[in-house]
């Protein structure tokens, strides 16, 4: 899995530097890029929220473990595993949307210079 600043950070300066005639003739690609950007931002927010939930479940598990109460430990472990799964799903979704946004931006750049 590659890690990078995402399509927004990497290509925003290129999109902003495009001549006015290109940007007006490319309203559809621009709307695609805007939609992809919005999707990435929503996915990033979801990942942040799931990371916060994961940290909370980890804390609950550690607290239950320190108290040594098996029933609480079991409940906390189940909640922790669910939070881990949600976080991993959010990470995968964010990566997929980043890749999709990269493709949209690359297509817009290619179209601008053809």
Give the integer Cα–Cα distance in Å for 49 and 101. Answer: 21
Give me the pLDDT at residue 76, please. 94
Give the pLDDT of residue 110.
84
Domain ranges of the chain: 31-112
pLDDT at residue number 105: 84
Contacts of 45 (CB under 8 A, 6+ apart): none
Closest alpha carbon to 94 in 39, 54, 49: 39
Contact assessment for residue 83 and residue 91, using Cβ atoms and an 8 Å cutoff: no
Backbone angles phi, psi at 78, to 5 degrees: -65, -45
Per-position pLDDT tens, the chain of length 114? 344 455 444 444 434 344 444 444 446 767 887 888 899 999 999 999 999 999 999 999 999 999 888 999 999 999 999 999 999 999 999 999 999 989 888 888 888 887
């Amino acid at each position: 899995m590659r890690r990078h600043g995402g399509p927004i950070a990497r290509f925003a300066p290129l999109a902003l530097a495009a001549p006015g005639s290109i940007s007006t003739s490319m309203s559809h690609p621009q709307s695609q890029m805007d939609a992809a950007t919005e999707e990435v931002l929503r996915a990033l927010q979801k990942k942040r929220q799931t990371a916060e939930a994961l940290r909370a479940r980890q804390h609950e598990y550690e607290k239950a473990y320190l108290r040594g109460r098996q029933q609480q430990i079991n409940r906390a472990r189940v909640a922790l595993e669910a939070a881990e799964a949600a976080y991993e799903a959010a990470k995968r979704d964010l990566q997929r949307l980043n890749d999709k946004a990269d493709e949209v931006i690359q297509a817009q750049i290619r179209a601008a210079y053809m």
